[in-house]
């Protein structure tokens, strides 16, 4: 099984375990909302634009609500578990290229929103995938950072630079998986170390990072 498939399956199991009303790290969303989001992005490309583009967000939200009404929580979870769907099934390599990060982040959105959780020890090759994505995508992930950012990976791999040039610098240290969560806007729930001017650290923690 691919890493994307493993994260999808684990998230599906967690959806079943927790039910539709459990919290997530996605602001204002329950597990029911997150399941609908995942189905929408794979099966309703006509409505997916609003995920990233604010002018289209209202339509995306309405389609997401219609999916909830049509399928119910159990139906949506089954659609998530039965994926990939749409282009992610049709285009070779698309599932691994996109959904490895997508399902890891959303799996952790559910895990880390619960009262008790612990960081997972990820496979070494998955950590390598995440670090490679961070190095190539750091300018995108950190484009809204108000400060300079230096990512230090625990376990080797060197550093990756991003954020605003000619600004105070914050050094962020952690495993590749934790750094990825940090750069995807989950700063408060990523197990990382932060070094830098106090004001710069505070501004980075409040920044809207991610794609």
Which of 111, 142, 176 terminates a domain? The answer is 111
Per-residue pLDDT averaged across 185-205, rounded?
A: 96
Q: Is residue 84 part of a domain?
A: yes
Q: Is residue 120 part of a domain?
A: no
Q: Who has greater pLDDT, 86 or 209?
A: 209
CB neighbours of residue 131 within 10 Å: 22
81 and 162 within one domain: no
107 and 131 within one domain: no
Range(s) of the domain holding residue 146: 126-206
Contacts of residue 43, defined as CB under 8 A and 6 or more positions apart, other chains included, come to 79, 85, 86
Paired residues of 170 in beta bridges: 149
The CATH code of the domain that includes 183 is: 3.30.1050
- pLDDT at 17 exceeding the cut of 90: yes
> Quick one: CA dihedral 172, 175, 180, 181, positive or negative?
negative
- pLDDT at 149 exceeding the cut of 90: yes
Q: Is residue 118 part of a domain?
A: no
Residue 150: which of 188, 182, 126 has the closest Cα? 182
Q: What would the pLDDT profile of 69-124 be if each residue is shown by its tens digit?
A: 999 999 999 999 998 988 889 888 989 999 999 999 999 999 999 999 999 999 99
- pLDDT at 158 exceeding the cut of 80: no
39 and 103 within one domain: yes
pTM, two decimal places: 0.93
106 and 81 within one domain: yes
> In the chain, how many domains are there?
2
* Cα–Cα dist 179/131, whole Å: 8
Which of 61, 83, 111 terminates a domain? The answer is 111
Q: What would the pLDDT profile of 29-46 be if each residue is shown by its tens digit?
A: 999 999 999 999 999 988
Residue with tokens 């605003």: 164
Contacts of residue 20, defined as CB under 8 A and 6 or more positions apart, other chains included, come to 30, 31, 32, 35, 73
Strand, coil or helix: 96: helix
Which of 111, 146, 161 terminates a domain? The answer is 111
Paired residues of 194 in beta bridges: 172
């Amino acid at each position: 099984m691919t890493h994307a498939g493993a994260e999808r399956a684990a998230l599906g199991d967690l959806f079943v375990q927790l039910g539709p009303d459990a919290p997530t790290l996605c602001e204002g969303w329950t597990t029911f909302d997150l399941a609908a989001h995942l189905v929408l992005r794979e099966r309703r490309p006509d409505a997916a634009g609003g995920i990233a583009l604010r002018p289209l967000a209202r339509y995306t939200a309405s389609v997401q609500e219609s999916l909830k009404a049509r399928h119910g929580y159990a139906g949506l979870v089954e659609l998530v578990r039965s994926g990939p769907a749409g282009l992610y099934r049709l285009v070779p390599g698309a599932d691994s290229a996109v959904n490895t990060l997508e399902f890891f982040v959303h799996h952790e959105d559910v895990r880390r929103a619960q009262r008790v959780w612990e960081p997972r020890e990820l496979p070494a090759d998955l950590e390598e995938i995440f670090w490679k994505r961070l190095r190539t995508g750091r300018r995108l992930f950190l484009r809204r950072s108000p400060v300079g950012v230096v990512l230090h990976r625990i376990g080797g791999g060197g550093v990756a630079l991003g954020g605003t040039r000619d600004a105070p610098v914050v050094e962020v240290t952690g495993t590749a998986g934790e750094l990825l969560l940090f750069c995807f806007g989950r700063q408060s729930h990523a197990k990382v170390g932060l070094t830098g001017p106090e004001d710069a650290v505070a501004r980075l923690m409040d920044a809207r990072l991610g794609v």
